[in-house]
Every structure is written in C-alpha cells, then in structure tokens.
Amino acid sequence: MSEMNLAQSSLSLALWINLKREVIVAVRHKGELANPLMFFLMVVVFIPLGISPEPKVLAPLAPGLIWVIALLATLLSLDGLFRSDYEDGSLEQMLMSPQPLAIFVVTKILAHWLMTGVPLTLIAPALGLMLYLPAEGYGAMLLSLFIGTGSLSMIGAIGAALTVSLRKGGLVLSLIVMPLYVPVLIFGASAVTSAVGGDKIGLEIAILLAMFLTAMLLAPFAAAGALKIGTDA
C-alpha cells in the first residue's frame, strides 16, 4: 500500500472508531440522553400554566415557543460535549493522533446531533399538539428543526470547545453561544409561522440549509482550533 493510501485508510479508521465510541458512550449514559428531552417537555408544560390554556392564545405562539425551547434544550446538552474527554485525557490522545483533530470533532458533533437534535425533532410533534400548533405547521416544524438543530450542534461545539477547560464553563458557554444562534432561530421559527399562515417556506428552508452547509465547512475547524487553545496549559 502506498503511503497516501495508508494515510487515507487510517483516517477513515480513526473517524469510524471514534463515531462508534461516541454512540456506545451515549447509549450507556441513557440518563444524559433523556435530559434535554425531559427539559423540552417540562418547559412546554409550564407555558400554559404561566400564560393561558386557551388554544386561541397558545396556537399563534406555538411555532416560536417550540423553536426557543428546542434551542435552550440543545444549549443545556452542550456543556458535556468535550468535558468528559478533557477530564479523562481522551482529548489529549486525540490531539496526539497523527490524524487531524477536526475529524474527531466532526464525529462528536454528528453524535451530538443524532443524540440531541434528532430526538428533539422527533418529539416536537407531540409538543405541537400540546400547544395547539395548527395542522399546516407540522411538516415545516419537522423539516426546520431537523436542519436547524444540526447547525445548533455545530455552532454550539465551538462554544463548548472554547470553554472546555473552564471550571465553571457552563454559564459562559450559554453567554457566548446564544447570540450566535439568532439567525437559526429567526429562520427556523419563521419557516413554521409561514407554513401555518399558508405561505411557501422555500426561502426559509433554503437559508437554513445554506447556514447548515456553511457551518459544516467552518465549525469543525473552528472547534478544533478552540480545543487546541483550551488545552494548551
């Protein structure tokens, strides 16, 4: 095997083995997996209690509320993204790998999305029912959350990487990530609102996709750079 081929095959090996590990670890910590979902559900129960149980009041708020809560639930799950690997030294071993750190970051983001964003998307219809989201909104909600939570995981990974070595990084993490979530929130919630109002949602979905692809190109490298900075002590 030529040197080039060897490097390529070992790259895919490293990528695959890390993804496998992420999934195994996540499945063994079922509690942590369920936490964002529980949070999502609980806040939704709070809303009628705090505002009004009237369908007339809740229905117009539903698209935005579901998006805001999904965003907060994602934020809640970010703190642990690199923390345990930093604490047990796995992160050092990834840094010491001949393979680029960005590929490990990609697997971690992918696993985070599969374990947080996708389940959030899947239970969102139930929450839509509880908040009287009109029937026209469900398709747009599923689609926008599916794409949007991917961007949330990627942007959030940068924040999680920047705060990985801070003892009380959780609050700073929320502070630095939340403003960066604004465009995703605007276009995600607006896609659902437009669908409810009977409008086309092509523009919103296209922009969400464009943000997703841009984040995919830049976020793994930014997060890898941040991890190198955060562990350089």
Structure token pair of residue 79: 């703190």
The reply on whether position 34 binds other proteins by CB under 8 A is no
The CB density around residue 23, as the number of other CB atoms within 10 Å, is: 15
The reply on whether position 192 binds other proteins by CB under 8 A is no
The stretch among 64-72, 85-93, 109-117, 132-140 that binds other proteins (CB under 8 A) is 85-93
Kindly tell me which of 126 and 228 has the beta carbon lying closer to other proteins: 228
Residue 218 CA, distance from chain mean position: 15
The stretch among 37-45, 88-96, 120-128, 131-139 that binds other proteins (CB under 8 A) is 88-96
Under 8 Å between Cβ of 11 and 103 = yes
In the list 14, 47, 71, 109, the residue contacting other proteins (rule: CB under 8 A) is 14
The reply on whether position 11 binds other proteins by CB under 8 A is yes
Site string for other proteins, 55-74 (x = CB under 8 A): --------------------
Instruction: Specify whether the backbone of 54 is left (phi greater than 0), alpha (psi in -120 to 50) or beta.
Output: beta
> Using the 8-state DSSP alphabet, how is residue 113 labeled?
I
- Helical ranges in the chain per DSSP H: 3-28, 30-50, 55-78, 80-88, 90-95, 101-112, 118-130, 137-162, 169-177, 182-196, 202-230
* Binding region for other proteins (CB under 8 A): 7, 10-11, 13-14, 16-18, 21, 24-25, 28-29, 84, 87-99, 104, 155, 158, 162-163, 165-166, 168-169, 172, 175-176, 178-180, 182-183, 186-187, 190, 211, 214, 218, 222, 225-226, 229-233
